[in-house]
Structure 1
Amino acid sequence: MTDVRSADRLTPDEAAGVLTVAAAADEADGVYPLSEDGVLGLRGTTHRHLLSVADDGDLAGYAYLSGTSGELVVHPKHRLRGHGTALLAAAGPGELQFWAHGDEPAARAFADKAGFTRSRVLWQMRRPLADLPDVPLPEGVLVRAFVPGEDDAAWLGVNSRAFAHHPEQGRWTENDLRLRFAEPWFDPAGFLLAVDPADDKLLGFHWTKVHPAGGGEPAIGEIYVLGVDPGGHRRGLGAALSVAGLRHLAGRGLHDALLYVDESNEAAVALYRRLGFDIHSTDVQYTRSA
């Protein structure tokens, strides 16, 4: 019988073991199996961790849950031996959502066999950073850099309102923000805030991110989070902020940028297509009803 252990917190060795499994899956499948939230959760207590151990004592598979949503990965050399099924069983009955990175036939078959249906699609879109369009800021708007410790509360408020119906982004807390401040990629100069110069009221933001070169791939920029306060919306601010952030990334010497957007978010997809972004890859969320 496959041994699955549940933990509220991982030891450093266990977290390292999960990253080893994820790296092996990435090499075999060509797509990394854990999101940023999944990786950050390895160091905290916000996730419920499930670890499947092989007969030789090696970590064979890993899953986590944040509420009813999570991710699951099995080491390539331990696949087709019941570890994925055991991890799902350990997650318990009731409603569950699991992300599969890459729209792969094996993931679709596993989900179907386990009683999960395709419920959400997340696109990664990309464009070169050359020939960026000229999109001026609306009148009466100034862009400045985020100041950690001073802009936190205002940003969390706008983020919550801008993503009120988003199942993950709209629930961010101060802890989520500070976890990212501690990441080596965090750069406040690339965290752009659109403010009213009369009172410095936050109107919107474009938080950029730089992924370093690795695995034979060059460094690439990201529209990490882009949001506009629905209560203080200025026409064209989303597009102008998008381009302002892309110009910042180009100024860092980067040649391409990516972003993630829900397939169902028609307004955002239309904006990004107008700005020259095309679909690069697809992630799928599978859901099992209660």
Structure 2
Amino acid sequence: MVNAREIIDAAAAADGVAPVGEAQLRRLDSALVLDGAGVAVTDAAGGIAELAVHPAHRRRGIGARLLAAVAPAKVWAHGDLPAARALAAAAGLAPTRTLLQMTLADPPADPGPAPAGLRIEDLPAARARLGAAAVDAAWLAVNNEAFDWHPEQGGWDAAQLRRARDTDWFDPAGVLFAVDADGTIVGFHWTKVHPDGVGEVYVIGLADAARGRGAGGWLTRAGLAHLAGRGCRRVILYVEGDNDAAVAVYRRLGFTVSRRDVLYG
């Protein structure tokens, strides 16, 4: 019997885009597998689902049955492929959110001068200065201030931060903090290096105290320089499609849109 991961991997190989995101892959034990041909994974609250149909079993109504099984959950279409758009339209679903993947080739190795009063400190150095618990508290404070509007990234607690770090790829040296002149952490850039060597601007967060000081672009460049030092020749990031300010910052840095993920509901 084909299992959930085999269906997801086969769909990714055929489509060139993974149908299920990293967070949902941790929930495969509770995934719905339909006829060994399709899989649906929902979040803990049951409000968001991600679907995959094995390439050998498409055009047989598996996708429609999966949609019916997870209703009324909203459904991500990673890459917003034509078949996914058609399936959503047939089910009467409409786009409710768009997430852009942006890509940069040959990231710069020099972040340029720091804004007045700010400096970079990586996670090991911050822990040595403040202690692990104090760093986590400051990190969470910045994250939750920066993402108070965000459905997944906002409202984190210490347990969520620990779970997010509990991955094979997590590198403490790849978490960079923007530190103010008084030693306060006012921003962070969490980077990621994928197994294939692609770098990622995983999460960037700024406290209100860092805004209007040129910190966002500088902190982004600092992370890009770190990834360049790790040998990454290509860097990706994900940003909300309606976050015009952030998209503009990334475009100025040379990023271009390489993929669209759409949430239908």
Q: TM-score under structure 1 normalisation?
A: 0.81
- Mapped to 2, the partners of 1:80 and 1:63 lie a distance apart of 20
Distance, in Å, in 2 between the alignment partners of 1:128 and 1:196 is: 30
Segments of structure 2 that go 5 or more residues without pairing to the other structure are none
Is 1:116 equivalent to 2:102 in the alignment?
no
Residues in 1 aligned to 2:175 and 2:115: alpha-carbon distance in whole angstroms: 19
SS in 1 for 2:13: helix
**Who is 1:238 aligned against?**
216
Aligned pair 1:51/2:32, yes or no? yes
The answer on whether the counterparts of 1:124 and 1:261 sit within 8 Å (CA) in structure 2 is yes
Q: Does 1:211 align with 2:179?
A: no
Aligned-residue offset at 1:50: 4.2
Q: Is the contact made by 2:111 and 2:224 (CA closer than 8 Å) also made in structure 1?
A: no
Instruction: State the AA in 2 paired with 1:26.
Output: A
Counterpart residue number, 1:9: none
Which residue number corresponds to residue 51 of structure 2? Answer: 72
> How is 1:1-290 mapped onto 2 (pairs within 5 angstroms)?
17-42=3-28, 49-54=30-35, 58=36, 60-67=38-45, 68-93=47-72, 96-131=73-108, 134-146=111-123, 147=127, 149-198=133-182, 200-213=183-196, 219-233=197-211, 235-287=213-265
Equivalent AA in structure 1 for residue 260 of structure 2: T
What is the Cα deviation at residue 137 of structure 1? 1.6
Instruction: Specify every segment of 5 or more residues in structure 1 that has no aligned partner in the other structure, as ranges.
Output: 1-13, 44-48, 214-218
* Higher fraction of strand: 1
- Aligned AA (1:52): V
1:208-261 alpha-carbon deviations (Å, 9 max, x no partner): 000111xxxxx1111000111024435100111001110011111111111111
Identity of aligned residues (%): 45
Match of residue 216 from structure 1: none
CA-based RMSD: 2.2
CA change 1:23–1:75 in 2 (3 A) is: same
- CA distance in structure 2 between the partners assigned to 1:42 and 1:154 by the alignment: 32
In the TM superposition, residue 107 of structure 1 has moved relative to its aligned partner by 0.4
SS in 1 for 2:3: helix
What are the superposed Cα offsets for residues 81-131 of structure 1, whole Å, 9 maximum, x if unpaired? 3332222222244xx321111121110010011111012221111112354
Superposed CA offset, 1:8-36 (max 9, x none): xxxxxx9x932211100011111111112
| Equivalence for 1:5 | none
Q: Distance in 2 between matches of 1:50 and 1:19?
A: 10
For residues 171 and 159 of structure 1, do their structure 2 counterparts lie closer, same or farther at Cα, with a shift above 3 Å needed? Answer: same
**What is the CA–CA distance in structure 1 between the aligned matches of 2:255 and 2:143, rounded to whole Å?**
23
Does the 8 Å CA contact 1:52/1:86 hold for their aligned counterparts? no
Distance 1:104 1:121, change over 3 A: same
Residue 264 of structure 1 and its aligned partner are, at CA, apart by: 0.6
Tell me if structure 1 keeps the 8 A contact 2:109–2:226.
Answer: no
Q: In structure 2, what residue type is equivalent to 1:117?
A: A
Higher helix share: 2
Matched-pair contact (CA < 8 Å) for 1:221–1:258: yes
Letter in 2 for 1:152: D
Distance 1:131 1:158 in 2: 26
The answer on whether the counterparts of 1:133 and 1:275 sit within 8 Å (CA) in structure 2 is no
